[in-house]
C-alpha cells in the first residue's frame, strides 16, 4: 500500500468541501430567518452555469463568480415572491425551484458543453505558502476557498454580535413578535433568501469553474441536498456547519485516496463512509434532545401573514 | 424542463404530421431512456446522438421519445411503463441498471419491444445489445502502459459489474504488455455520473503518483481535471476530441447508430426478434479515436496493429496464458476466453491488487 500524503489530503479536502460549505452557510442564514428553502440544488446548478457562462464570455473568473451569485439570487427571487408575498407552501415551492433550476440551467448550458473556463490562479500568500506542511494545506488555494471561510466567520459574527443579526434571529424565532415590534418580517426574509441564493450560486460556480472545471448538465449531482443536511447537522451554527462540511468532504476525499492507495478495506464500506460518519456524528450531537431542539429556529417553515 | 420542451416539440411535430395528408402509415414510435443528461459529453450523449441519426435515417417514418437522467431502479420502471402506455413500439433502455426494470415492464407489455444495453437478461420481447468495449480497453490499456512515467496507471470504475471488470482486466493485461513494471490502481465510485466525484477521484489518483488515468464513468470531468493538473487520460464512450492532443491520448467510441437503424427497421418489417448482440471493433460498434501526436511513433504503430488484429480476428484480448487473481489457471497458452465467461466475469486476472467488491 502506498502511503497517503496527509498534506495533499487536507489540501484537496478544502477544495472538495467548498461548494457545499458555501451553499450551506447561505441556507443557514435563510433558515435562521425562519424560511426553509429546499431549492438549494436548483440555485447551485443555476449558479454553476451562470458563473461558467459569464466567466467564458468575459474571460474573467472573478466576474464569473459575481454572475453566479447574481444568477443564484435571481432564481431565489422566484422563491421569495412565491413564499413571502403569495404565501405558497415553502417545501413545495423549494422542491419546484430545484426542478426548475435543473431544467433552466440545462437550457442555458446548451452552448457551453465542452468549453474550457478561464483558469483561476492560487492566491500568492508569499512566504506563508512556503511553510512546510501548513503552507500547501492552508495557503495554496484559490481565493474562493478563503472567501468561503471568511463568509462563515462573517455570518457567525453577524448573527452573534450585530443588531441586524439579532433581528434576523428574532424573525426566525417568532415572526408574530418581531412583527409586533415593528420589524419588516417579509422584507428581512426576502433579503435572507437572496443571500442564500447568492451563496448557493457561488457554491455551484466553484464546482463548474474550479473543482471540475467544466460545464456538464446536472453536475451538482445532489450537492445541494447535502448542503441542506449540513445545516441541520451543524445545528444552525456557522462553525459547526464548517466542521460538518470539512468532515463530509474530508471523509469523501479520504475514502477515494484510501482506494487509490490500495488499502485492504472493503470498498463498499469506504463508499458509504461519508454518510455513515455523518449519521454517526448527528446521532451523537443530538443525544441531548433538549439542546438540539432549542437550536432550530422556532418559526422555521411557517407561513407569515401580517393580518393587521 | 428539457423533457417538457421536447415533448411539446414532439407534439408539435405530430400535429403537423396529422395535418399533412401525405403520410399514410402511423410512424413507429421509438423510446430512449438515458441514465445521465443527453449532453453529458459521454455515454448518454452518444446514445442520444445515435438516436438522432436513426431518426434522420427514417425521417417521418419514426417518432422518437426520450427521457434523460432517469435513475436506475423503481423510477426507471415508472418511466418505461409511461412510455409503453403512451403507445411506444420499441424502447431502448441504455444503462446496465435498467436490466430488472426492463424485464419487469416487458412482462406487462408483451406487445412492446424492449432493447436493453449492456445487460444479460432476455425475454421474448427483450433483446440485449452491448459492445465489446474490452477490445477498445486493450488498445487504450496498451497506450497507458507505454505512456506512464511513474509506472502507475489508474482506473476510475463505476459499479462492480462484468462489463467494468472486463474493462479493468483488459486494461491491466495490455498495460503489462507495454510495460511489465506497471501497476493498476482502481477506484470504485458507485455512480455513472457525478462530475465532482469523478474529479476528486482523479485528483486522489494524481496525489498517489498515478499519471495515466482511464475512466469508466460518463462525464468528461476526469479529462478536465487532468488538463488542469497534468497527466494523461482517454475519451470514454465519446471521442472527447476537445481534450486532444493533451491530456486525451485516444478514445473508445461507441457507435450505436447502425444498430438502432437495424432494429427499428426490423420493427417496421415485422421481423423483430429477441436477440443477444455483442459487437466489437470488427462490426464497428467499438471505435478507436485518433491517436494523439504526443504518443511516440512506435507505440502508435503497435496500438494500431493491435486494433487491426482485433478487427481481423487475428488477436483476442483475452488470450492465454492467463491466471486468475488468486493464481489459479484460467486460460492455457493460446486459449481464448469464451463469451459466456466474459459476459459473467466477476474476477480479476493475476497481478491486479485489491478485491472485486461484491
Whole-angstrom distance, CA of residue B127 vs CA of residue B291: 34
Question: Confidence class of residue B20 from pLDDT cuts 50, 70 and 90?
Answer: very low
The strand ranges marked E within B120-264 are 126-131, 152-157, 183-188, 212-215, 232-237, 248-254
pLDDT in tens, B110-152: 999 999 998 888 999 999 999 999 999 999 999 999 999 999 9
Q: Is the pLDDT of residue B81 over 80?
A: yes
Mean pLDDT of the B51-76 span: 92
C-alpha cell at A87: 404565501
Cα dist. A50→A47, A146, B27 in Å? 5, 21, 40
Domain spans in chain B, listed from the N-terminal domain onward = 2-131, 133-254+285-343
User: Is the pLDDT reported for residue A150 higher than 80?
Assistant: yes
The per-residue DSSP string of B79-105 comes to HHHHHHHTT-SEEEE-SGGGHHHHHHH
Q: What is the mean pLDDT of residues A101-122?
A: 83
Contact B39 A212 (CB under 8 A): no
Strands B90-93 and B212-215, sheet pairing: unpaired
Residue B252 has pLDDT above 90, yes or no: yes
Task: Output the nine-digit C-alpha cell for B116.
Answer: 436493453
Within a 13 Å sphere around the CA of A153, how many CA atoms are in the beta-carbon half? 6
Instruction: Map residue B280 onto helix, strand or coil.
Output: coil
Q: What pairs with residue B91 in β-bridges?
A: B31, B114
CATH 3.40.50.2300 fits B2-131, yes or no: yes
- Of B221, B148, B158, B223, nearest to B192 by C-alpha is B158
Length of chain A counted residue by residue: 308
Choose among B40, B207, B210: nearest Cβ to A12: B207
If 0-12 CB within 10 Å is exposed, 13-18 middle and 19+ buried, where does residue B30 land?
Answer: buried
B298-345 pLDDT per residue, tens? 999 999 999 999 999 999 999 989 999 999 999 999 999 998 889 889
Q: Is the pLDDT of residue A124 over 50?
A: yes
| Assigned C-alpha cell, B184 | 493498476
* % residues pLDDT > 90 (chain B): 68
Q: Say which of B189, B201, B353 has its CB closest to residue A262.
A: B353
Q: Which residues of chain A does B190 touch, with a Cβ-Cβ cutoff of 8 Å?
A: 271
Q: How far is A258 from chain B (nearest CA, A)?
A: 9
Ranking A255-264, B43-52, B296-305 by mean pLDDT, the lowest is A255-264
DSSP A126: G
Among A138-147, A285-294, B130-139, B152-161, the least confident range: A285-294
Residue A6 contacts B where some CB pair is shorter than 8 Å:
no
Query: How confident is residue A292, by pLDDT bands cut at 50, 70 and 90?
Result: low
Asked if A267 reaches chain B (Cβ–Cβ under 8 Å), the answer is yes
Instruction: Find, in chain B, the residue whose alpha carbon is nearest to that of A257.
Output: B204
Instruction: Report the distance separating Cα B58 and Cα B260, nearest Å.
Output: 11
CA nearest to A23, candidates A4, A50, A42: A42
pLDDT in tens, A14-61: 888 999 999 999 999 999 999 999 999 999 999 999 999 999 999 889
A21, A45, A213, A259: best to mutate for the B interface, most B CBs within 10 A: A259
- Whether chain B has a CB inside 8 Å of the CB on A266: the answer is yes
Report DSSP state, residue A1: -
Q: How many angstroms separate the CA atoms of B221 and A219, rounded?
A: 10
| Average predicted confidence (pLDDT) for chain A | 88
Q: Is the pLDDT of residue B19 over 80?
A: no
CB-based contact, A2 to chain B, within 8 Å: yes
Mean predicted lDDT score pLDDT of chain B: 89
In tens, the pLDDT along A180-219 reads 999 999 999 999 999 999 999 999 999 999 888 888 888 8
| Lowest-pLDDT choice from A49-58, A105-114, A153-162, A274-283 | A274-283
8 Å CB contact of B357 and A266: yes
Determine the pLDDT at residue A24.
96
Whether B203 has a pLDDT exceeding 50, the answer reads yes
Query: Inter-chain contact B2–A266, Cβ cutoff 8 Å?
Result: no
Q: In the 8-state DSSP scheme, what is residue A304?
A: -
What is the phi/psi pair of residue B329, to 5°?
-65, 140
Residue A223: Cβ within 10 Å count: 25
Bridge partners of residue A206, in order along the sequence: none
Grid coordinates standing for A178? 418581531
Span B260-285, average pLDDT: 92
ipTM: 0.77
The pLDDT, as a whole number, for residue B324 is 93
Binning pLDDT at 50, 70 and 90, where does residue A274 land? confident
pLDDT tens-digit profile of B149-184?
999 999 999 999 998 999 999 999 999 999 999 999
**Would an 8 Å CB–CB cutoff place B24 in contact with chain A?**
no
Three-class SS of residue B263?
helix
Q: Return d(Cα B188, Cα A271) in angstroms, integer.
A: 8
Residue B27: Cβ within 10 Å count: 18
Cα A34 from Cα A176, distance rounded (Å): 12
B93 contacts chain A (CB < 8 A): no
Helix (H, G, I), strand (E, B), or coil: what is residue A290? helix
Query: Edge-to-edge strand order for the sheet containing B212-215?
Result: B183-188, B152-157, B212-215, B232-237, B248-254, B286-288
Q: Which of B137, B199, B196 shows the shortest CA–CA distance to B168? A: B137
Fold of B133-254+285-343: Rossmann fold (3.40.50)
Give 3-state DSSP helix, strand, coil % of chain B, rounded to 5.
Answer: 45, 20, 35
Domains of chain A, each with CATH number or no CATH: 6-113+133-295 (1.10.3470)
Angstrom distance (rounded) from CA B93 to CA B67: 10
Cis link prior to B247 (omega < 30° from 0)?
A: yes
Q: Do B2-131 and B133-254+285-343 have matching folds?
A: yes
Using CA atoms, how far apart are residues A259 and A217, in angstroms rounded to an integer?
Answer: 27
Distance set, CA A55 to CA A118, A264, A271, B203 (Å): 7, 43, 34, 23
- The model's pLDDT over A227-250, given as tens digits with 9 standing for 90+, comes to 998 998 888 999 999 999 998 888
Contact B267, B112 (CB under 8 A): no
Give the pLDDT band (50/70/90) at residue B355: confident
Whether the CB of A121 is below 8 Å from some CB of chain B: the reply is no
Write down the residue that cell numbers 412510455 correspond to: B83
d(Cα A31, Cα B238) in Å, to the nearest integer? 43
Angle at B230 between CA A129 and CA B204, to 5 degrees: 75
Give strand pairing partners of B186. Answer: B155
pLDDT score for B18: 44
CA A125 to chain centre: 25
Cis peptide before B303 (omega within 30 of 0): no
Amino acid at each position: 500500500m502506498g502511503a497517503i500524503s496527509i498534506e495533499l489530503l487536507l489540501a484537496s479536502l478544502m477544495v472538495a468541501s467548498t461548494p457545499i460549505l458555501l451553499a450551506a452557510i447561505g441556507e443557514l442564514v435563510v433558515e435562521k430567518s425562519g424560511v426553509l428553502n429546499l431549492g438549494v440544488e436548483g440555485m447551485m446548478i443555476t449558479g454553476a452555469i451562470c458563473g461558467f457562462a459569464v466567466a467564458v464570455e468575459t474571460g474573467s473568473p472573478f466576474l464569473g463568480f459575481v454572475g453566479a451569485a447574481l444568477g443564484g439570487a435571481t432564481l431565489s427571487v422566484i422563491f421569495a415572491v412565491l413564499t413571502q408575498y403569495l404565501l405558497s407552501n415553502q417545501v413545495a415551492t423549494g422542491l419546484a425551484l430545484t426542478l426548475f433550476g435543473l431544467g433552466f440551467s440545462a437550457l442555458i448550458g446548451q452552448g457551453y458543453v465542452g468549453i474550457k473556463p478561464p483558469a483561476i490562479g492560487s492566491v500568492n500568500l508569499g512566504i506563508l505558502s512556503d511553510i512546510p506542511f501548513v503552507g500547501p494545506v492552508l495557503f495554496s488555494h484559490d481565493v474562493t476557498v478563503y472567501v468561503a471561510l471568511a463568509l462563515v466567520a462573517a455570518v457567525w459574527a453577524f448573527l452573534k454580535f450585530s443588531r441586524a443579526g439579532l433581528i434576523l434571529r428574532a424573525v426566525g424565532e417568532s415572526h408574530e413578535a418581531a412583527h409586533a415590534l415593528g420589524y419588516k418580517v417579509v422584507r428581512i426574509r426576502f433579503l435572507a433568501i437572496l443571500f442564500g441564493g447568492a451563496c448557493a450560486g457561488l457554491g455551484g460556480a466553484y464546482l463548474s469553474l474550479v473543482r471540475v472545471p467544466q460545464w456538464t448538465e446536472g453536475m451538482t449531482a445532489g450537492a445541494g441536498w447535502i448542503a441542506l443536511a449540513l445545516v441541520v447537522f451543524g445545528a444552525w451554527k456557522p462553525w459547526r456547519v464548517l466542521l460538518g462540511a470539512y468532515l463530509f468532504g474530508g471523509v469523501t476525499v479520504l475514502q477515494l485516496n484510501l482506494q487509490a492507495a490500495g488499502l485492504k478495506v472493503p470498498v463498499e464500506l469506504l463508499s458509504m463512509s461519508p454518510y455513515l460518519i455523518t449519521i454517526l456524528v448527528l446521532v451523537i450531537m443530538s443525544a441531548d434532545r433538549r439542546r438540539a431542539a432549542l437550536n432550530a429556529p422556532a418559526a422555521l417553515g411557517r407561513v407569515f401573514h401580517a393580518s393587521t | 424542463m428539457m423533457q417538457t420542451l421536447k415533448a411539446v416539440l414532439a407534439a408539435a411535430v405530430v400535429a403537423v404530421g396529422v395535418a399533412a395528408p401525405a403520410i399514410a402509415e402511423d410512424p413507429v414510435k421509438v423510446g430512449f431512456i438515458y441514465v445521465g443528461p443527453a449532453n453529458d459529453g459521454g455515454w448518454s450523449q452518444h446514445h442520444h446522438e445515435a438516436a438522432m441519426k436513426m431518426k434522420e435515417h427514417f425521417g417521418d417514418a419514426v417518432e422518437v421519445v426520450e427521457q434523460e437522467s432517469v435513475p436506475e431502479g423503481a423510477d426507471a420502471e415508472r418511466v418505461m411503463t409511461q412510455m409503453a402506455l403512451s403507445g411506444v413500439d420499441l424502447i431502448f433502455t441504455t444503462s446496465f441498471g435498467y436490466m430488472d426494470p426492463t424485464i419487469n415492464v416487458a412482462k406487462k407489455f408483451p406487445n412492446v419491444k424492449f432493447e436493453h444495453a449492456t445487460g444479460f437478461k432476455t425475454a421474448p420481447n427483450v433483446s440485449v445489445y452491448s459492445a465489446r468495449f474490452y477490445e477498445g480497453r486493450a488498445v487504450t490499456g496498451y497506450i497507458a502502459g507505454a505512456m506512464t512515467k511513474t509506472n502507475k496507471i489508474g482506473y476510475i470504475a463505476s459499479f462492480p459489474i462484468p462489463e467494468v471488470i472486463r474493462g479493468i482486466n483488459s486494461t491491466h493485461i495490455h498495460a503489462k504488455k507495454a510495460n511489465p513494471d506497471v501497476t493498476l490502481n482502481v477506484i470504485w465510485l458507485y455512480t455513472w455520473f457525478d462530475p465532482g466525484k469523478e474529479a476528486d477521484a482523479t485528483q486522489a489518483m494524481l496525489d498517489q503518483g498515478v499519471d495515466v488515468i482511464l475512466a469508466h464513468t460518463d462525464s468528461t470531468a476526469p479529462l478536465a481535471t487532468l488538463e488542469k493538473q497534468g497527466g494523461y487520460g482517454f475519451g470514454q464512450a465519446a471521442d472527447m476530441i476537445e481534450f486532444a492532443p493533451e491530456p486525451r491520448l485516444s478514445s473508445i467510441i461507441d457507435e450505436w447508430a447502425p444498430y438502432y437503424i437495424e432494429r427499428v427497421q426490423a420493427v417496421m418489417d415485422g421481423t423483430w426478434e429477441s436477440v443477444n448482440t455483442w459487437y466489437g471493433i470488427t462490426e464497428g460498434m467499438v471505435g478507436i479515436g485518433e491517436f494523439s501526436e504526443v504518443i511516440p511513433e512506435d507505440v502508435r504503430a503497435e496500438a494500431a496493429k493491435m486494433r487491426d488484429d482485433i478487427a481481423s480476428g487475428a488477436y483476442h484480448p483475452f488470450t492465454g496464458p492467463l491466471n486468475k487473481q488468486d493464481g489459479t489457471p484460467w486460460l492455457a497458452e493460446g486459449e481464448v476466453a469464451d463469451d459466456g465467461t466474459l459476459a459473467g466475469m466477476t474476477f480479476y486476472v493475476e497481478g491486479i491488487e485489491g478485491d472485486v467488491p461484491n
